[in-house]
Amino acid sequence: MTQLLSVVDALQANASYNSILQFQSANYITYLKDTTNQGLLNSDCEGFMKGLKAAMKADKEVERTQKNLAKIIEKQIKQVARDITHGKGFYEFDN
């Protein structure tokens, strides 16, 4: 656990890596850094792993939601582009 936390700390110290961690693994990192959960690893490894899996599942759900929202945004932008270019979209502006 100490080595894993050391790697996480090093990644969090780098602004670029930290932004990705916050975006994609917030629940996982929060779970790992929680001292109660760290103690659980020593006393109830199965319980720790169950909680860790739940945190990872929550991060995956957030990622799915973000992807869906990104698709909705892209669809709306493309629709506006088609509307203002009378059905041609942004491709009309390529030339």
pLDDT at residue 91, rounded to an integer:
62
pLDDT at residue 1, rounded to an integer:
87
Distance CA 11, CA 80 (A): 39
Residues of the chain with pLDDT under 70: 89-95
- Give me the number of domains the chain comprises: 1
Q: Give the tokens for residue 46.
A: 């199965």
pLDDT at residue 83, rounded to an integer:
86
Q: Give the tokens for residue 54.
A: 């739940």
pLDDT at residue 49, rounded to an integer:
96
Domain around 76: 2-93
For 76-95, write each residue's pLDDT tens digit: 998 888 888 877 766 655 55
Distance CA 30, CA 62 (A): 14
Q: How far is CA 65 from CA 34, 68, 87, in A?
A: 25, 5, 29
Q: How far is CA 28 from CA 22, 32, 38, 83, in A?
A: 10, 6, 13, 42
